[in-house]
Amino acid sequence: MLKPYLLLSGLLALLTSCNQNGSGTAAECGPAVPAAYTIRHPAWASNASIYEVNIRQYTPEGTFRAFEAHLPRLQQMGVGILWLMPVQPIGQLKRKGTLGSQYSIQNYRTVNPEFGTMADLRHLVDEAHKRGMHVILDWVANHTAWDSELAQEHPEWFTKTKQGQFRPPVADWQDVIDLDYSKPELRRYMTESMAFWLREADIDGYRCDVAGLVPTDFWNDTRQQLQKVKPVFMLAEWDELYPPTFIPKAEFDPNTKLLEKAFDMTYGLRLHTLLDSIAKGQKTTAHLDKYLADERRRYPAQVYLMHFTSSHDVNSWDGTEYERLGKNALPYAVLTATLPGMPMVYSGQEAALKKRLRFFDKDTIPWNDYPLQEFYTKLLTLKKNHPALRNGDPCSEFVRLPANASPDTYAFVRHKDAAEVLVVLNLGNKPHEFMMRELESGNFQELFTGQRIRLGATSKMLLTPHTYRVYERLPEQDKSWF
Protein backbone atom coordinates (compact mmCIF):
# COMPACT_ATOMS: atom_id res chain seq x y z
CA MET A 1 0.00 0.00 0.00
CA LEU A 2 2.71 2.46 -1.04
CA LYS A 3 2.72 5.39 -3.37
CA PRO A 4 5.13 4.84 -6.27
CA TYR A 5 8.41 6.71 -6.24
CA LEU A 6 11.50 6.58 -8.43
CA LEU A 7 14.17 6.67 -5.76
CA LEU A 8 13.76 3.06 -4.67
CA SER A 9 12.22 1.55 -7.77
CA GLY A 10 15.43 -0.26 -8.67
CA LEU A 11 15.69 -1.85 -5.25
CA LEU A 12 12.02 -2.78 -5.30
CA ALA A 13 12.47 -4.54 -8.60
CA LEU A 14 15.35 -6.52 -7.17
CA LEU A 15 13.46 -7.51 -4.05
CA THR A 16 10.26 -8.51 -5.82
CA SER A 17 10.19 -11.64 -7.92
CA CYS A 18 7.38 -14.09 -8.54
CA ASN A 19 6.59 -17.31 -10.26
CA GLN A 20 6.11 -20.12 -7.74
CA ASN A 21 5.82 -20.26 -4.01
CA GLY A 22 7.82 -22.72 -1.91
CA SER A 23 5.30 -25.52 -2.24
CA GLY A 24 5.29 -25.31 -6.01
CA THR A 25 1.98 -23.49 -6.48
CA ALA A 26 1.92 -21.26 -9.55
CA ALA A 27 1.69 -17.53 -9.02
CA GLU A 28 1.40 -14.79 -11.64
CA CYS A 29 4.06 -12.48 -10.28
CA GLY A 30 7.16 -12.32 -12.45
CA PRO A 31 10.30 -14.15 -13.62
CA ALA A 32 10.39 -17.92 -13.63
CA VAL A 33 12.45 -19.75 -11.04
CA PRO A 34 15.71 -20.88 -12.69
CA ALA A 35 15.45 -24.52 -13.74
CA ALA A 36 18.44 -25.43 -11.55
CA TYR A 37 16.38 -24.78 -8.41
CA THR A 38 14.40 -27.96 -7.90
CA ILE A 39 13.75 -27.73 -4.13
CA ARG A 40 10.09 -27.52 -3.15
CA HIS A 41 9.79 -26.58 0.49
CA PRO A 42 7.40 -28.44 2.81
CA ALA A 43 4.17 -26.48 3.07
CA TRP A 44 4.53 -26.30 6.86
CA ALA A 45 7.76 -24.32 6.51
CA SER A 46 6.14 -21.39 4.69
CA ASN A 47 5.32 -19.46 7.86
CA ALA A 48 7.77 -21.09 10.29
CA SER A 49 10.40 -19.66 12.59
CA ILE A 50 13.16 -21.90 13.88
CA TYR A 51 14.34 -22.41 17.47
CA GLU A 52 17.71 -23.98 18.34
CA VAL A 53 17.56 -26.35 21.31
CA ASN A 54 20.68 -26.97 23.39
CA ILE A 55 19.45 -30.03 25.34
CA ARG A 56 22.61 -30.18 27.49
CA GLN A 57 22.18 -26.67 28.89
CA TYR A 58 18.39 -26.29 28.73
CA THR A 59 17.53 -27.82 32.12
CA PRO A 60 19.45 -28.99 35.18
CA GLU A 61 18.75 -32.57 34.06
CA GLY A 62 19.87 -31.93 30.47
CA THR A 63 17.52 -34.60 29.07
CA PHE A 64 14.88 -34.96 26.38
CA ARG A 65 12.18 -35.56 28.97
CA ALA A 66 13.09 -32.45 30.96
CA PHE A 67 13.12 -30.32 27.82
CA GLU A 68 9.76 -31.73 26.77
CA ALA A 69 8.09 -29.78 29.56
CA HIS A 70 8.95 -26.59 27.65
CA LEU A 71 7.03 -27.57 24.52
CA PRO A 72 3.76 -25.83 25.51
CA ARG A 73 5.69 -22.63 26.18
CA LEU A 74 7.52 -22.79 22.83
CA GLN A 75 4.29 -23.58 21.01
CA GLN A 76 2.70 -20.53 22.61
CA MET A 77 5.76 -18.51 21.58
CA GLY A 78 5.02 -19.28 17.92
CA VAL A 79 7.94 -21.62 17.19
CA GLY A 80 7.45 -23.72 14.05
CA ILE A 81 10.67 -25.76 13.80
CA LEU A 82 12.72 -27.15 16.70
CA TRP A 83 16.37 -27.74 15.81
CA LEU A 84 18.00 -30.15 18.26
CA MET A 85 21.77 -29.97 18.56
CA PRO A 86 23.45 -33.40 17.99
CA VAL A 87 21.84 -36.20 19.99
CA GLN A 88 24.40 -38.99 19.45
CA PRO A 89 27.07 -40.23 21.91
CA ILE A 90 30.22 -38.11 22.19
CA GLY A 91 33.73 -39.46 21.78
CA GLN A 92 36.09 -39.88 24.75
CA LEU A 93 39.48 -39.79 23.02
CA LYS A 94 40.91 -36.24 22.87
CA ARG A 95 37.64 -34.93 24.30
CA LYS A 96 37.52 -31.22 25.10
CA GLY A 97 36.30 -30.24 28.56
CA THR A 98 34.46 -32.63 30.85
CA LEU A 99 31.54 -33.46 28.55
CA GLY A 100 33.08 -32.90 25.12
CA SER A 101 31.71 -31.29 22.00
CA GLN A 102 28.30 -32.44 20.86
CA TYR A 103 29.78 -32.29 17.33
CA SER A 104 32.29 -35.06 18.10
CA ILE A 105 30.11 -38.03 17.14
CA GLN A 106 31.02 -41.49 18.43
CA ASN A 107 28.14 -43.48 16.92
CA TYR A 108 25.75 -42.19 14.26
CA ARG A 109 22.83 -44.51 15.03
CA THR A 110 22.40 -44.36 18.81
CA VAL A 111 21.30 -41.75 21.35
CA ASN A 112 23.60 -40.07 23.85
CA PRO A 113 22.60 -41.73 27.16
CA GLU A 114 23.17 -38.40 28.93
CA PHE A 115 20.08 -37.13 27.10
CA GLY A 116 17.90 -40.22 27.44
CA THR A 117 16.83 -43.05 25.18
CA MET A 118 15.57 -43.41 21.63
CA ALA A 119 12.10 -43.86 23.12
CA ASP A 120 12.50 -40.54 24.96
CA LEU A 121 13.51 -38.81 21.75
CA ARG A 122 10.62 -40.34 19.83
CA HIS A 123 8.23 -39.22 22.59
CA LEU A 124 9.61 -35.67 22.35
CA VAL A 125 9.14 -35.62 18.58
CA ASP A 126 5.60 -37.02 18.89
CA GLU A 127 4.66 -34.37 21.45
CA ALA A 128 6.10 -31.62 19.25
CA HIS A 129 4.09 -32.92 16.30
CA LYS A 130 0.91 -32.89 18.39
CA ARG A 131 1.52 -29.20 19.00
CA GLY A 132 2.00 -28.39 15.33
CA MET A 133 5.79 -28.09 15.54
CA HIS A 134 8.37 -29.96 13.47
CA VAL A 135 11.77 -31.27 14.59
CA ILE A 136 15.10 -31.35 12.78
CA LEU A 137 18.31 -32.95 14.05
CA ASP A 138 21.80 -31.53 13.85
CA TRP A 139 23.85 -33.79 11.57
CA VAL A 140 27.66 -33.91 11.54
CA ALA A 141 28.64 -35.50 8.23
CA ASN A 142 32.11 -34.00 7.81
CA HIS A 143 33.96 -35.62 10.71
CA THR A 144 33.71 -38.01 13.67
CA ALA A 145 35.28 -38.49 17.09
CA TRP A 146 38.76 -40.08 17.12
CA ASP A 147 37.30 -43.15 18.83
CA SER A 148 34.17 -43.34 16.67
CA GLU A 149 32.69 -46.60 15.57
CA LEU A 150 33.59 -45.71 11.98
CA ALA A 151 37.23 -44.97 12.86
CA GLN A 152 37.53 -48.40 14.42
CA GLU A 153 35.63 -50.39 11.79
CA HIS A 154 36.39 -48.40 8.62
CA PRO A 155 39.63 -46.43 8.99
CA GLU A 156 39.85 -46.36 5.18
CA TRP A 157 36.89 -43.93 5.14
CA PHE A 158 39.02 -41.10 6.57
CA THR A 159 41.50 -38.65 5.11
CA LYS A 160 45.05 -39.17 6.33
CA THR A 161 48.29 -37.28 6.86
CA LYS A 162 51.37 -38.11 4.75
CA GLN A 163 52.30 -40.46 7.57
CA GLY A 164 49.00 -42.30 7.20
CA GLN A 165 47.45 -40.95 10.42
CA PHE A 166 43.97 -39.55 11.04
CA ARG A 167 43.81 -35.78 10.87
CA PRO A 168 41.41 -33.06 12.03
CA PRO A 169 39.52 -31.22 9.27
CA VAL A 170 40.51 -27.85 10.76
CA ALA A 171 43.58 -27.16 12.89
CA ASP A 172 41.58 -26.01 15.92
CA TRP A 173 39.25 -29.03 15.87
CA GLN A 174 41.61 -31.46 17.59
CA ASP A 175 38.81 -33.60 19.02
CA VAL A 176 37.55 -34.80 15.61
CA ILE A 177 38.91 -36.43 12.44
CA ASP A 178 38.07 -35.80 8.80
CA LEU A 179 35.97 -38.14 6.65
CA ASP A 180 36.81 -38.88 3.00
CA TYR A 181 33.82 -38.52 0.67
CA SER A 182 35.65 -40.05 -2.25
CA LYS A 183 34.63 -43.39 -0.68
CA PRO A 184 31.29 -44.63 -2.08
CA GLU A 185 30.80 -46.89 0.92
CA LEU A 186 31.01 -43.91 3.30
CA ARG A 187 28.44 -41.99 1.25
CA ARG A 188 26.07 -44.93 1.32
CA TYR A 189 26.51 -45.41 5.07
CA MET A 190 25.93 -41.72 5.82
CA THR A 191 22.79 -41.51 3.69
CA GLU A 192 21.40 -44.66 5.27
CA SER A 193 22.17 -43.29 8.74
CA MET A 194 20.23 -40.10 8.02
CA ALA A 195 17.29 -42.15 6.74
CA PHE A 196 17.51 -44.24 9.93
CA TRP A 197 16.52 -41.26 12.12
CA LEU A 198 13.61 -40.36 9.87
CA ARG A 199 12.21 -43.85 10.36
CA GLU A 200 13.16 -44.47 14.00
CA ALA A 201 12.47 -41.05 15.52
CA ASP A 202 10.08 -39.59 12.92
CA ILE A 203 12.11 -36.38 12.69
CA ASP A 204 11.37 -33.92 9.88
CA GLY A 205 14.81 -33.13 8.52
CA TYR A 206 18.30 -31.94 9.38
CA ARG A 207 20.52 -28.98 10.15
CA CYS A 208 23.80 -30.03 8.52
CA ASP A 209 27.01 -28.95 10.21
CA VAL A 210 29.63 -27.21 8.00
CA ALA A 211 27.69 -28.44 4.97
CA GLY A 212 30.00 -26.74 2.47
CA LEU A 213 32.93 -28.94 3.55
CA VAL A 214 31.03 -32.00 2.29
CA PRO A 215 30.66 -32.48 -1.50
CA THR A 216 27.48 -30.94 -2.85
CA ASP A 217 26.70 -33.97 -4.98
CA PHE A 218 26.50 -36.06 -1.79
CA TRP A 219 23.85 -33.72 -0.40
CA ASN A 220 21.98 -33.67 -3.72
CA ASP A 221 21.80 -37.46 -3.82
CA THR A 222 20.97 -37.78 -0.12
CA ARG A 223 18.08 -35.32 -0.34
CA GLN A 224 16.49 -37.49 -3.01
CA GLN A 225 16.88 -40.61 -0.88
CA LEU A 226 15.45 -38.96 2.24
CA GLN A 227 12.44 -37.69 0.31
CA LYS A 228 11.56 -41.32 -0.40
CA VAL A 229 11.11 -41.84 3.35
CA LYS A 230 9.16 -38.62 4.06
CA PRO A 231 9.18 -34.95 3.03
CA VAL A 232 12.11 -33.26 4.78
CA PHE A 233 13.38 -29.78 5.59
CA MET A 234 17.12 -29.31 5.19
CA LEU A 235 19.18 -26.46 6.69
CA ALA A 236 22.84 -26.02 5.75
CA GLU A 237 25.31 -24.36 8.08
CA TRP A 238 26.91 -22.38 5.28
CA ASP A 239 26.66 -19.21 3.27
CA GLU A 240 27.53 -19.75 -0.37
CA LEU A 241 29.15 -16.32 -0.70
CA TYR A 242 30.74 -15.90 2.72
CA PRO A 243 33.87 -17.89 3.66
CA PRO A 244 33.77 -19.25 7.21
CA THR A 245 36.48 -17.82 9.43
CA PHE A 246 37.81 -21.28 10.25
CA ILE A 247 38.97 -22.17 6.72
CA PRO A 248 41.43 -20.31 4.44
CA LYS A 249 39.69 -18.18 1.83
CA ALA A 250 41.67 -19.96 -0.88
CA GLU A 251 39.90 -23.20 0.08
CA PHE A 252 36.40 -21.70 -0.02
CA ASP A 253 34.32 -22.78 -3.00
CA PRO A 254 31.72 -20.13 -3.96
CA ASN A 255 30.08 -22.60 -6.34
CA THR A 256 28.67 -25.04 -3.82
CA LYS A 257 25.08 -24.41 -5.00
CA LEU A 258 23.61 -26.00 -1.89
CA LEU A 259 20.22 -24.34 -2.34
CA GLU A 260 19.46 -25.71 -5.78
CA LYS A 261 18.84 -29.41 -5.19
CA ALA A 262 19.80 -30.25 -1.60
CA PHE A 263 18.83 -27.65 0.98
CA ASP A 264 15.76 -25.58 1.79
CA MET A 265 17.80 -22.99 3.67
CA THR A 266 21.34 -21.84 4.45
CA TYR A 267 22.61 -19.43 7.08
CA GLY A 268 22.45 -15.72 6.29
CA LEU A 269 26.00 -15.28 7.58
CA ARG A 270 26.62 -12.13 5.57
CA LEU A 271 23.68 -10.39 7.23
CA HIS A 272 24.81 -11.61 10.64
CA THR A 273 28.30 -10.19 10.08
CA LEU A 274 26.91 -6.97 8.65
CA LEU A 275 24.75 -6.38 11.72
CA ASP A 276 27.77 -6.87 13.97
CA SER A 277 29.71 -4.39 11.82
CA ILE A 278 26.94 -1.80 12.03
CA ALA A 279 26.85 -2.25 15.81
CA LYS A 280 30.60 -1.56 15.94
CA GLY A 281 30.22 1.58 13.83
CA GLN A 282 32.20 0.06 10.97
CA LYS A 283 29.24 0.20 8.56
CA THR A 284 25.87 1.94 8.35
CA THR A 285 22.30 0.98 7.63
CA ALA A 286 22.90 1.96 3.99
CA HIS A 287 24.84 -1.29 3.65
CA LEU A 288 21.64 -3.21 4.42
CA ASP A 289 20.18 -2.04 1.10
CA LYS A 290 23.21 -3.30 -0.81
CA TYR A 291 23.09 -6.59 1.05
CA LEU A 292 19.41 -7.16 0.23
CA ALA A 293 19.91 -6.23 -3.41
CA ASP A 294 22.87 -8.60 -3.67
CA GLU A 295 20.82 -11.43 -2.18
CA ARG A 296 18.10 -10.99 -4.76
CA ARG A 297 20.61 -10.91 -7.60
CA ARG A 298 22.10 -14.13 -6.29
CA TYR A 299 18.91 -16.05 -5.43
CA PRO A 300 15.31 -16.25 -6.61
CA ALA A 301 12.76 -15.07 -4.06
CA GLN A 302 11.74 -18.66 -3.26
CA VAL A 303 15.06 -19.40 -1.54
CA TYR A 304 15.16 -19.37 2.28
CA LEU A 305 17.99 -17.74 4.25
CA MET A 306 18.13 -17.99 8.05
CA HIS A 307 18.61 -14.78 10.07
CA PHE A 308 19.61 -14.60 13.72
CA THR A 309 21.30 -12.58 16.43
CA SER A 310 22.69 -15.57 18.35
CA SER A 311 23.39 -19.30 18.06
CA HIS A 312 25.37 -21.92 19.96
CA ASP A 313 28.59 -20.92 18.15
CA VAL A 314 27.98 -17.18 18.31
CA ASN A 315 27.01 -17.21 21.98
CA SER A 316 29.92 -19.33 23.16
CA TRP A 317 32.72 -17.96 20.98
CA ASP A 318 31.76 -14.45 19.81
CA GLY A 319 29.65 -13.33 22.74
CA THR A 320 26.04 -12.78 23.65
CA GLU A 321 23.93 -10.40 21.58
CA TYR A 322 24.26 -7.91 24.44
CA GLU A 323 28.06 -8.00 24.21
CA ARG A 324 28.09 -7.69 20.42
CA LEU A 325 25.04 -5.53 19.71
CA GLY A 326 24.70 -3.59 22.95
CA LYS A 327 21.51 -1.58 23.32
CA ASN A 328 20.40 -2.62 19.83
CA ALA A 329 20.08 -6.31 20.70
CA LEU A 330 16.28 -6.14 20.58
CA PRO A 331 16.01 -3.82 17.55
CA TYR A 332 18.23 -6.26 15.66
CA ALA A 333 16.02 -9.14 16.78
CA VAL A 334 13.06 -7.25 15.30
CA LEU A 335 15.01 -6.72 12.08
CA THR A 336 16.00 -10.37 11.66
CA ALA A 337 12.41 -11.45 12.34
CA THR A 338 10.84 -9.13 9.77
CA LEU A 339 13.31 -8.98 6.85
CA PRO A 340 12.80 -11.55 4.06
CA GLY A 341 14.09 -14.84 5.44
CA MET A 342 13.39 -17.21 8.32
CA PRO A 343 14.20 -15.98 11.84
CA MET A 344 15.99 -18.20 14.34
CA VAL A 345 16.00 -17.92 18.13
CA TYR A 346 18.62 -19.69 20.25
CA SER A 347 17.99 -21.32 23.62
CA GLY A 348 17.94 -18.70 26.35
CA GLN A 349 17.33 -15.61 24.23
CA GLU A 350 13.84 -15.38 25.67
CA ALA A 351 15.54 -15.34 29.09
CA ALA A 352 17.64 -12.29 28.06
CA LEU A 353 20.68 -14.54 28.49
CA LYS A 354 23.68 -12.34 29.20
CA LYS A 355 26.37 -14.96 29.59
CA ARG A 356 28.35 -17.15 27.23
CA LEU A 357 27.36 -20.77 27.76
CA ARG A 358 30.29 -23.12 28.20
CA PHE A 359 30.57 -25.36 25.17
CA PHE A 360 32.25 -28.47 26.58
CA ASP A 361 30.86 -28.49 30.12
CA LYS A 362 27.53 -28.34 31.91
CA ASP A 363 26.24 -24.76 32.16
CA THR A 364 22.49 -24.61 32.72
CA ILE A 365 20.61 -21.63 31.29
CA PRO A 366 19.27 -19.29 34.03
CA TRP A 367 15.71 -18.69 32.81
CA ASN A 368 14.78 -15.95 35.31
CA ASP A 369 11.05 -16.17 34.55
CA TYR A 370 11.58 -15.60 30.81
CA PRO A 371 11.67 -11.78 30.70
CA LEU A 372 11.61 -11.70 26.87
CA GLN A 373 9.03 -14.44 26.39
CA GLU A 374 6.33 -11.93 25.41
CA PHE A 375 8.72 -10.04 23.11
CA TYR A 376 9.57 -13.16 21.09
CA THR A 377 5.99 -14.42 21.24
CA LYS A 378 4.76 -11.25 19.53
CA LEU A 379 7.50 -11.39 16.89
CA LEU A 380 7.20 -15.08 16.04
CA THR A 381 3.40 -15.04 16.15
CA LEU A 382 3.39 -12.12 13.71
CA LYS A 383 5.74 -14.08 11.47
CA LYS A 384 3.50 -17.11 11.70
CA ASN A 385 0.23 -15.36 10.97
CA HIS A 386 0.91 -12.41 8.68
CA PRO A 387 0.54 -13.03 4.90
CA ALA A 388 3.22 -10.48 4.01
CA LEU A 389 5.91 -12.29 6.04
CA ARG A 390 5.70 -15.74 4.44
CA ASN A 391 9.03 -17.48 3.81
CA GLY A 392 10.06 -17.62 0.18
CA ASP A 393 6.85 -16.04 -1.11
CA PRO A 394 7.72 -14.23 -4.36
CA CYS A 395 4.46 -12.27 -4.24
CA SER A 396 5.33 -10.66 -0.92
CA GLU A 397 7.07 -7.35 -1.57
CA PHE A 398 9.77 -5.55 0.38
CA VAL A 399 10.00 -1.77 0.01
CA ARG A 400 12.56 0.38 1.75
CA LEU A 401 11.23 3.72 2.96
CA PRO A 402 13.48 6.71 2.13
CA ALA A 403 16.00 7.47 4.85
CA ASN A 404 15.16 11.05 5.75
CA ALA A 405 16.27 11.34 9.35
CA SER A 406 19.70 9.81 9.91
CA PRO A 407 21.84 6.84 8.86
CA ASP A 408 20.91 5.49 12.29
CA THR A 409 17.30 4.98 11.19
CA TYR A 410 15.99 2.21 9.00
CA ALA A 411 12.40 1.69 7.86
CA PHE A 412 10.68 -0.61 5.42
CA VAL A 413 7.34 -2.14 4.49
CA ARG A 414 6.53 -5.78 3.78
CA HIS A 415 3.24 -6.19 1.95
CA LYS A 416 1.20 -8.69 0.03
CA ASP A 417 -2.00 -7.37 -1.52
CA ALA A 418 -3.70 -5.37 1.25
CA ALA A 419 -1.77 -7.04 4.10
CA GLU A 420 1.11 -4.86 5.28
CA VAL A 421 3.75 -4.62 8.00
CA LEU A 422 5.68 -1.41 8.65
CA VAL A 423 8.98 -1.60 10.57
CA VAL A 424 10.79 1.50 11.87
CA LEU A 425 14.10 1.39 13.78
CA ASN A 426 16.40 3.91 15.41
CA LEU A 427 19.75 2.23 16.04
CA GLY A 428 21.50 5.39 17.16
CA ASN A 429 22.26 7.00 20.51
CA LYS A 430 20.19 10.11 19.78
CA PRO A 431 16.46 10.64 19.18
CA HIS A 432 15.42 11.18 15.56
CA GLU A 433 12.25 12.43 13.92
CA PHE A 434 11.23 10.20 11.03
CA MET A 435 8.75 11.27 8.35
CA MET A 436 6.69 8.52 6.73
CA ARG A 437 7.35 9.77 3.19
CA GLU A 438 5.71 7.72 0.43
CA LEU A 439 3.57 5.76 2.90
CA GLU A 440 -0.05 5.57 1.80
CA SER A 441 -2.40 6.80 4.49
CA GLY A 442 -4.08 4.20 6.62
CA ASN A 443 -4.83 2.88 10.07
CA PHE A 444 -2.12 0.90 11.86
CA GLN A 445 -1.69 -1.00 15.11
CA GLU A 446 1.68 -1.26 16.84
CA LEU A 447 2.68 -4.82 17.65
CA PHE A 448 4.22 -4.39 21.09
CA THR A 449 2.06 -1.65 22.61
CA GLY A 450 -1.25 -2.24 20.85
CA GLN A 451 -1.43 1.49 20.04
CA ARG A 452 -3.67 2.31 17.08
CA ILE A 453 -2.72 5.29 14.95
CA ARG A 454 -3.34 6.78 11.54
CA LEU A 455 -0.18 7.21 9.46
CA GLY A 456 0.56 8.64 6.05
CA ALA A 457 3.13 10.47 3.95
CA THR A 458 2.98 13.59 6.14
CA SER A 459 3.16 11.73 9.46
CA LYS A 460 6.14 12.37 11.73
CA MET A 461 7.39 9.87 14.27
CA LEU A 462 9.82 10.68 17.08
CA LEU A 463 12.14 7.74 17.61
CA THR A 464 13.98 7.56 20.90
CA PRO A 465 17.42 5.90 20.89
CA HIS A 466 17.50 2.15 20.22
CA THR A 467 13.80 2.07 19.38
CA TYR A 468 11.85 -0.52 17.42
CA ARG A 469 8.29 -0.17 16.20
CA VAL A 470 6.32 -2.68 14.17
CA TYR A 471 2.93 -1.72 12.75
CA GLU A 472 0.26 -3.83 11.07
CA ARG A 473 -2.02 -2.05 8.63
CA LEU A 474 -5.66 -2.38 9.66
CA PRO A 475 -8.48 -2.83 7.17
CA GLU A 476 -9.87 0.54 6.08
CA GLN A 477 -13.39 -0.61 6.90
CA ASP A 478 -12.38 -1.19 10.54
CA LYS A 479 -13.61 1.99 12.26
CA SER A 480 -14.11 0.41 15.66
CA TRP A 481 -11.14 2.09 17.25
CA PHE A 482 -12.03 5.71 16.36
Q: Does 24-393 match 399-473 in CATH topology? A: no
Q: Does domain 24-393 have CATH number 3.20.20.80?
A: yes
Tens-digit pLDDT profile for residues 35-67: 999 999 999 999 999 999 999 999 999 999 999
CA dist., res. 357 & res. 17, Å (int): 41
- Contact at 8 Å (CB) between 426 and 467? yes
Distances from the Cα of 128 to the Cα of 69, 140, 204, 235, 445, angstroms:
11, 23, 11, 19, 32
With left for phi above 0 and alpha for psi between -120 and 50, is residue 11 left, alpha or beta?
alpha
| pLDDT value for 479 | 59
Residue 11, pLDDT above cutoff 50: no
Tens-digit pLDDT profile for residues 379-422: 999 999 999 999 999 999 999 998 776 889 999 999 999 999 99
The superfamily CATH assigns to domain 399-473 is Golgi alpha-mannosidase II (2.60.40.1180)
CA-nearest of 182, 149, 180 to 166 is 180
Q: What number is the average pLDDT over the span 359-381?
A: 98
| pLDDT value for 17 | 40
Residue 30: pLDDT band with limits 50, 70, 90 = low
Contacts of 382 (CB under 8 A, 6+ apart): 337, 338, 389, 421, 447, 470, 472
Domain ranges (residues) in the chain: 24-393, 399-473
Tens-digit pLDDT profile for residues 140-198: 999 999 999 999 999 999 999 999 999 999 999 999 999 999 999 999 999 999 999 99
Tens-digit pLDDT profile for residues 438-465: 899 999 999 999 999 999 999 999 999 9
